[in-house]
Structure 1
Amino acid sequence: MTLSLLTAAPAAPKNASAPTPIADLHDWWDGSVAWVNSHWLQIGIAVAAGLLIYFLLSLLRTLALKRAQAAPGHFTLTDIVGRVVHKTRSSVLAIISIRLVASYANPPALVMQTIQFVFTVAVVLQVAIWAREIVIGLIQRRAADRHNETLINAMGIIRLLISVALFAIAAIVILDNMGVNVTGLVAGLGIGGIAIGLAAQGIFSDLFASLSIIFDRPFRVGQAIKYDNSSGTVERIGLKSTHIRSANGELLVISNTNLLSKEITNYAHLHRRRVTFPIGVIYQTTPAMLRALPALLEEQVKATGHEFIRSSFTGFGPSSLDFELIFDVHDEDYDKVAAARTDIAIRLFEAMTAAGYDFAYPTQTSFTAAPDGTMILPYAEDGAAKAPKPARG
């Protein structure tokens, strides 16, 4: 009987062939040394070209910045370009220079991937900074006003909203370039934005209404406006409400959303104001005097130096023959307009009285019927005296 002894080979240790970090680092070092030894000339040329490109980009940035700073004016397009150039980082210029010459040196895949990743992050963030400066600069240029207190108060929150939006987009672009699935992230941000918007609907509504007032400029601080049934002078345009001082002295605080939902009449920069005078004369006025009245009214308006529009007969009133006088006073100051209106009114009264016109006012005359049905006057007739003229109606 033979006894066979089977001896098994010793088992290999687990993960013996798996790479370790130290081994990876060693391999990377060996590959880098081999790359430098075999491509030293290309590397030297790439470094020299990169330095030259960086120098040219820095020189271009300096020249553009000096040109923009030398231009006069604030919040101009040149000023905005200068602010954008000023925000260009030297590190971004360096990574751009490296990226432009990296492929010539034929670096290892890991080095090239690292350069590409750093280049993407730096450029995306720099573009976000540029976009923020351009948008904010255009907003300030559009709403530039020496007395625009609202803009000063709103610029902080405007800058915050623009920064959050732009850098959120930049983060999504960076993650997408890294191979991360950003679909869920975008959907989550959208749902979160909707929830926040619904929760603060009233606040955001007034905020955007305030921005609309700043940019559209339906009125400014110090201007007289009429809103719905209220009128007064604008004292303050806030982020949520606008303060209006009424003619009686009350302070009206109106939310910006409600303010823009109604018709607004702005009396500022009203180069002319139209004044209308209704004038009534008695029915006993002769036809010749009626024909002469429009010319008399026109003469009095032109004598004061204001613009005559028209004067005409408008109708038969209950107790008067009605005329209308329309003229324009070319002045923005309402106090001067009121003074001109008063002056013309007194001139009309003097001229019409001197010409024999009688102003009509509401009166009633009673007539009595005789037994045979004919109308008789309501006073006793004196046979010797001429019957007086009937009272005007």
Structure 2
Amino acid sequence: MFDWDLWRSWEEWISQPVFLNFVLVVGIAIASYFALRILMSSITARVTSWLSRRKGRLSHYGIEVFKHTSRLLIAAMALQIGLAIVDLGPGWEDQVSHLWFLVLALQFGLWVGAAIALWKEETISDKAGQDNQLTVTMVALTFRIILWAVVLLSVLANLGVDITAFVASLGIGGIAIALAVQALLSDLFASASIGVDKPFTTGNFIVFGDIAGTIEYIGLKTTRIRSLSGEQVICSNTKLLQQTLHNYSRMKERRVVFNLAISFRTPIDKVREVPPLIRQVISSTNQTRFDRAHLSAFADYALKFEIVYFVLSADYNVYMDIQQAINFSLLEELDKRDIKFAMPVRALEFLDEVPLPEGSRAGKDPAISQAGR
């Protein structure tokens, strides 16, 4: 059986001005939403077309950021339009104002986050930015954390939450966490130091301690090195920065010092020919710069020459090829001039008559002495 009392109470409720105003606000908001969607699409197309004609990074950023406008922001704007036309009372306006601030804060985070992400992608894609990939990633991550922390605190403050106590609690908790993960944070800061100071980059050949190898990967906690013997060496960033590093990839040229020893029996006029000969041989070799060649010392059994030159390449194999070519040329030129390399020599001198010590029996011990030089 139909309940007429319930029907009359429902008619009384829907006939109230508040309900009618609410329905009117919802209708206006829905109509405004679709109208704003069409308007925003048209504006986005026009702004994108206008910014695309203006070449520059700022225009490119403007296009990408504008594309990240959320539909939730449009819905909030439509609801504000409905409330501006129809008055629902101060209670509804306060609630909608909180909603409006929440949506606007989230939209601000989306816009700035899109700009940060675009900056990171463009920087890493550049050739110069590839060496700074770690730094760029950490900077982008830091700014994103700060951005969303500010957005969250702003929303909580708008909702009436006491953020002073909340921030203090976060500070105490942060100290406790930092003490618990001290080693991890140390490696993270070391990673940031590597990214900012750049003592080495991926692909560099470094030597520290008894390890020599090529940098394969620089992570947030560890750095991976491919050693000369083939195995991968993994070292924490903190311990790596505590070492004295030799970065051979940044060597523009290599200084080479080597010695040449010729026999003492070489005539003095031929000895004088050796420094100009060495200069000629080195200067005629490609990718070299001669520095000096001197008769540096009289050794025990040789005349020693000290030679210094520069290899105009950091490649170790190139250096070895050049040194081998110089050695072959010196062998040929010295052989043409009959200049002999020094060999260890010991001379023995035998004396026929040596007076015997007083009191010794004649002929018992051989009278032989040796002298060498």
1:313–1:107: structure 2 CA closer, same or farther, 3 Å change rule? farther
Amino acid at match of 2:234: V
**Equivalent residue, structure 1, for 2:317:** 335
Q: Note if contact 2:105-2:155 (Cα within 8 Å) is conserved in structure 1.
A: yes
**Equivalent residue, structure 2, for 1:61:** 44
**Equivalent residue, structure 2, for 1:348:** 330
1:258–1:303: structure 2 CA closer, same or farther, 3 Å change rule? same
**Cα distance in 1 for residues equivalent to 2:142 and 2:166:** 19
Q: Deviations over 1:340-391 (max 9, x none)?
A: 22111221232234334444466667899xx9xxxxxx999xxxxxxxxxx9
Choose the corresponding residue for 2:161, options 162, 168, 180.
Answer: 180
Q: State the SS of the aligned residue for 1:175.
A: helix
Deviation at 1:215, TM superposition (A): 6.6
**Cα distance in 1 for residues equivalent to 2:328 and 2:54:** 58
Task: Please give the residue correspondences for 1:10-49 in structure 2 after superposition, counting only pairs within 5 Å.
Answer: none
Task: Please give the residue correspondences for 1:253-268 in structure 2 after superposition, counting only pairs within 5 Å.
Answer: 253-268=234-249
**Cα distance in 1 for residues equivalent to 2:259 and 2:17:** 103
Q: State the SS of the aligned residue for 1:242.
A: strand
TM-score (normalised: structure 2) = 0.66
Q: Deviations over 1:260-315 (max 9, x none)?
A: 33233333475544433233445565665555433222211232223323113273
Q: Deviations over 1:319-347 (max 9, x none)?
A: 433322313244x6432332222111221
**Equivalent residue, structure 1, for 2:151:** 170
1:119–1:67: structure 2 CA closer, same or farther, 3 Å change rule? same
Task: Please give the residue correspondences for 1:79-228 in structure 2 after superposition, counting only pairs within 5 Å.
Answer: 83-95=64-76, 109-144=90-125, 165-210=146-191, 213=194, 218-228=199-209
Q: Note if contact 1:143-1:214 (Cα within 8 Å) is conserved in structure 2.
A: no
**Equivalent residue, structure 2, for 1:321:** 304
Q: Percent identity?
A: 26
**Cα distance in 2 for residues equivalent to 1:355 and 1:205:** 65
What value does the CA root-mean-square deviation take over the aligned residues? 5.0
TM-score (normalised: structure 1) = 0.64
Q: Note if contact 1:223-1:266 (Cα within 8 Å) is conserved in structure 2.
A: yes
1:364–1:176: structure 2 CA closer, same or farther, 3 Å change rule? farther
**Cα distance in 1 for residues equivalent to 2:59 and 2:212:** 41
Amino acid at match of 1:352: L
**Cα distance in 2 for residues equivalent to 1:328 and 1:275:** 7
Choose the corresponding residue for 1:251, options 232, 244, 251.
Answer: 232
Q: State the SS of the aligned residue for 1:321.
A: strand
Deviates more, 1:53-62 or 1:295-304: 53-62
1:247–1:347: structure 2 CA closer, same or farther, 3 Å change rule? same
Deviation at 1:61, TM superposition (A): 3.3
1:91–1:222: structure 2 CA closer, same or farther, 3 Å change rule? same
Q: Deviations over 1:114-167 (max 9, x none)?
A: 343222111211222233333344334444489x8x979x97x99887655533
Segments of structure 2 that go 5 or more residues without pairing to the other structure are: 1-12, 355-368
Deviation at 1:186, TM superposition (A): 0.7
Amino acid at match of 1:185: F
Q: Note if contact 2:32-2:81 (Cα within 8 Å) is conserved in structure 1.
A: no
Q: State the SS of the aligned residue for 1:351.
A: helix
Amino acid at match of 1:321: K
**Cα distance in 1 for residues equivalent to 2:315 and 2:280:** 24
Q: State the SS of the aligned residue for 1:313.
A: strand
Aligned length: 333
**Cα distance in 2 for residues equivalent to 1:66 and 1:211:** 40
Q: Note if contact 2:51-2:63 (Cα within 8 Å) is conserved in structure 1.
A: yes
1:226–1:60: structure 2 CA closer, same or farther, 3 Å change rule? farther
Q: State the SS of the aligned residue for 1:180.
A: coil
Q: Note if contact 2:289-2:312 (Cα within 8 Å) is conserved in structure 1.
A: no
Segments of structure 1 that go 5 or more residues without pairing to the other structure are: 1-25, 372-377, 381-390
Q: Deviations over 1:100-124 (max 9, x none)?
A: 9977989854444334322211121
**Structure with greater helix share of residues:** 2
